Amino acid sequence: MKNFEDKLNDLKIPTIENDLFENKLRRNLIQKYHTSEKKYKRNLRLAVGFACLLAIFGCSTILNPEIAYKINRFTFKKDVLSKLELQGRKLLSPESDMTYTSIRNPELQGKINPADYIEDKAFLIRRYTSSTEGSVMIVSEFKQKTKIPKKKILY
């Protein structure tokens, strides 16, 4: 280790006799490593990159609103209910006028055994009456999976 220190001490640093060349070299080194132009270029590149990313994200949410719905659901950890779901909940709420009968109705207890039956399909019966033609009943079937329309972003 002592040898190495002695060699370092014996090293001669060249001196530049030409002051103009020394100043030019110093200026070039400062411009290369400490210029503010590099900061501006780096900040501009970052800004352009983020702008492109934002433009791609904006176009993708306009073309496919499902992406915005998924991001909203992931961000806020809750589901945004669609209009159809809200209407369905309103129909099935206890305050509504709709009444229904289940197979576990106490009035049917002695007549049928609910354990022998499984629920197959659900139907909704509507009755329309006319003063001249009489009445008509229309039976509508509830499907197991309802197709929910794509979520739209409301502004």
pLDDT tens-place string over residues 73-128: 788 876 555 554 544 554 455 555 556 667 777 777 778 887 888 877 777 788 88
Q: Which residues share a beta bridge with 134? A: 130
Tokens of residue 19, six digits: 């002051």
The answer to whether residue 131 sits within a structural domain is: no
Residue 56 has φ and ψ, to the nearest 5°, of -65, -45
pLDDT of residue 155: 60
The answer to whether residue 38 sits within a structural domain is: yes
Q: Under a CB-based contact definition with an 8 Å cutoff, are residues 62 and 68 in contact?
A: no
The answer to whether residue 83 sits within a structural domain is: yes
pLDDT of residue 120: 77
State the helix-helix crossing angle for 65-76 and 36-63, rounded to 10 degrees.
Answer: 110
The answer to whether residue 84 sits within a structural domain is: yes
pLDDT at 46 over 90: yes
Q: Which amino acid is at 87?
A: Q
Q: Quote the domain boundaries for residue 80.
A: 17-105
Mapping DSSP to helix (H, G, I), strand (E, B) and coil, where does residue 89 land?
Answer: helix
Q: What is the reported pTM? A: 0.32
User: How many structural domains compose the chain?
Assistant: 1
